[in-house]
Structure 1
């Protein structure tokens, strides 16, 4: 459950919180209690709960926390004429005491505000029901007993593909996509919803670290999983909402073709029916030069969504592309493929050039059951909802219009963290990502943008929940982490299953055979790269192969010896040098 610190401003009922110190004297007993009080307050504030001494005594302190009835936005403020705090919108009061041993306990739950304060305004729900009191109690207990730190070695427990777990516009779109699909897959329905919402706010909003909302989405499944429908629904919704600029081409022939459309429309999502076939034509060993430019452009554009991109420099002496930059190009794609075709389109270079860690891959878990489905047309309620959400973002009409002009620097809304604890939580995910690569040998080409993808998804969910006042909350981050966790796991499993026998695996085996042939069980890097089957591989591929061997437990982490590196078989003792 997340929280939001309320600003000390006058509310609808004329209430102005009193932020003056409660005591200005220097009573030693009170000061001793205050010191203990502030120690526990830091825990409150870490979860977004403000607190204040409202009634100090010699042996205990009262801390009142205001809790709304929906439990979503706890915003504690001290009432300026009373010793207790009440929610003006039907919530219950949670009264917490801290004794002389600094042990906080929930000592009282008031089911409704006192009648004498009703004159302040009209209470929509003056008598909250039993569940409201339980919600208040739960939030108050969490404030004084914070949950243990998340275990980043385990996936989040939330099912991110359940529409109600996403909420807001994502829930509405995913539900409609499933309802109109003869073979509904919740994973692919949510993928379409994510793609649409990211495109809707692309070049208009960015995350707390100023990360753009461009995403490379891929859905993988065999035949019979209804893969075509989410792509069709994505386009249908944009056209029915009279927003055709959100949809880009479904088939691209070269990097120059991508640049051409980006110069016309700098933000869109491309629905691709055969993503695997495209990758195979782009990455294959016999790929034409023009096809290879597609991969190069996609790699470049991913990191340019908040910067500028000049595209390709042409031989035409009258054309200077560097003098005509595209500001904040925000290009996304959503592609479908079978696993076999998709992985056949990947090469060894894909494991090290960063293309894979730019992808968010979703795979359907169960073969969908057939259902009756009506014609594919967005209902009026969904169209109205999309348009309302697009208008709700706190952005001027001029800025919104400028978001579709390539040579105009867009004015984008920065979606903030809900509170400091959420930022710290995401920072910890980023640190975990680095440790997985450096300490546990996981491929950087797969894990290298784990935290970034989490934040992009979290920002999309925050906009989906409240475009007028978006904030990235803890639940947004965990929802995004659940999707990226599944994506990375699926990629790693797919590499093992579908890329076995490839040139990369041949390189892995060549390194392993060279080490086993060494009497000592180790080789210097300078010697290893000259061995048969290794000498023709580039540095990135050798590093990726060593990462794979370390991850499998076949070798120790390469160590520095003198001025070079040494690679050692696992289980072999090597004398220190």
Structure 2
């Protein structure tokens, strides 16, 4: 799998006219893949967010593998069933796609290439986005995972806008202002979703800061729970909420399936304890004395008063 990932990483930059993509050698020769020139390779996958983010490792972030992907995450509710789905694309779309495919096949057969041009307004927008990405990378010199998220964002925007131009006018593709802006919005949206997960410690093994941030988020969640959603083990849950107190049991339950905690090398419980300790040290939480919890709230477990949610 590591060899396959290395090849996929390399293929990202092998679509140029003079590029050669090296082959893959397997122990079984009939499975070998020969070298190929000018590979326009695309990889599309679909899964649920938890499975996707849990599978990412720090190594994938550091070696640039993940920065080559454009991540699209849907965070809305489940849509209603569509009783009248479209069974066939519009004929005009089919005819247009057929012309593009025929043109691409002819170009491949004659070994010819068509460069995509950029309109002046589109170029200006993309140049501004490059400066934005450059500044974002310089802003986090000690966090390679966040730097990796922005590293190829501009190049991804270039590629997406170029694809839009080809789709609209394949004979003479020129990126327009609207296409460039749409591509940048798509890339920005993916970065925002990825950074949100990264900062919350929900990507791969996570970080100390990410785990603390996740604990703070869960504290906010606990304090805002409606009365009918309060856990059964809290006899005076509303009073504890009003006092800004969060039980450890709630944090324990909500983090047990979080990869940043569950995959921690010292175990889930240690990961949570360290995150809580960091939050206490940073002045965000304070442990409530057991006597006060028992007397005022009839709660016999550990709990923490929230001092800051920032």
TM-score by length of 1: 0.32
User: Structure 1 residues 424 and 375, CA, compared in 2 at 3 Å: closer, same or farther?
Assistant: closer
Offset, 1:303: 1.8
Q: Secondary structure at the match of 2:15?
A: coil
2:60: which partner in 1?
350
Provide the C-alpha distance between the structure 2 equivalents of 1:360 and 1:427, rounded to a whole number of angstroms.
19
Offset, 1:337: 0.9
2:82: which partner in 1?
371
> 191, 197, 216: which is aligned to 1:494?
197
Contact 2:133 2:151 (C-alpha < 8 Å) held by counterparts: yes
Offset, 1:508: 7.9
Provide the C-alpha distance between the structure 1 equivalents of 2:132 and 2:92, rounded to a whole number of angstroms.
42
Provide the C-alpha distance between the structure 1 equivalents of 2:152 and 2:117, rounded to a whole number of angstroms.
20
Offset, 1:496: 2.9
Provide the C-alpha distance between the structure 2 equivalents of 1:374 and 1:508, rounded to a whole number of angstroms.
42
1:431: which partner in 2?
131
Provide the C-alpha distance between the structure 2 equivalents of 1:447 and 1:498, rounded to a whole number of angstroms.
18
Offset, 1:450: 0.8
Contact 1:352 1:444 (C-alpha < 8 Å) held by counterparts: no
> 46, 50, 67: which is aligned to 1:340?
50
Offset, 1:375: 6.7
Contact 1:499 1:505 (C-alpha < 8 Å) held by counterparts: no
Offset, 1:401: 2.6
Does residue 1:298 correspond to 2:18, yes or no? no
Contact 1:343 1:498 (C-alpha < 8 Å) held by counterparts: no
Provide the C-alpha distance between the structure 2 equivalents of 1:461 and 1:295, rounded to a whole number of angstroms.
27
Within 5 Å, give how 1:57-456 maps onto structure 2: 291-306=1-16, 307-313=19-25, 325-367=35-77, 368-374=79-85, 376-391=87-102, 398-402=106-110, 410-419=111-120, 421-441=121-141, 443-456=146-159
Provide the C-alpha distance between the structure 2 equivalents of 1:489 and 1:361, rounded to a whole number of angstroms.
10
Aligned Cα root-mean-square deviation (Å): 3.3
Offset, 1:452: 0.5
> 447, 457, 462: which is aligned to 2:160?
457
Larger-gyration structure (1/2): 1
Provide the C-alpha distance between the structure 2 equivalents of 1:475 and 1:495, rounded to a whole number of angstroms.
30
Provide the C-alpha distance between the structure 1 equivalents of 2:54 and 2:93, rounded to a whole number of angstroms.
38
User: Structure 1 residues 476 and 345, CA, compared in 2 at 3 Å: closer, same or farther?
Assistant: same
Offset, 1:399: 2.5
Q: Deviations over 1:207-245 (max 9, x none)?
A: xxxxxxxxxxxxxxxxxxxxxxxxxxxxxxxxxxxxxxx
Q: Which runs of 5+ in 2 are unaligned?
A: 212-281, 283-310
Provide the C-alpha distance between the structure 2 equivalents of 1:390 and 1:503, rounded to a whole number of angstroms.
43
Q: Deviations over 1:486-536 (max 9, x none)?
A: 000011112233527x64425988xxxxxxxxxxxxxxxxxxxxxxxxxxx
Provide the C-alpha distance between the structure 1 equivalents of 2:5 and 2:14, rounded to a whole number of angstroms.
15
Contact 2:11 2:41 (C-alpha < 8 Å) held by counterparts: yes
Contact 2:140 2:147 (C-alpha < 8 Å) held by counterparts: no
1:283: which partner in 2?
none
TM-score by length of 2: 0.57
User: Structure 1 residues 388 and 499, CA, compared in 2 at 3 Å: closer, same or farther?
Assistant: same
Q: Secondary structure at the match of 1:331?
A: coil
Provide the C-alpha distance between the structure 2 equivalents of 1:364 and 1:338, rounded to a whole number of angstroms.
9
Contact 2:199 2:209 (C-alpha < 8 Å) held by counterparts: no
Offset, 1:300: 1.6
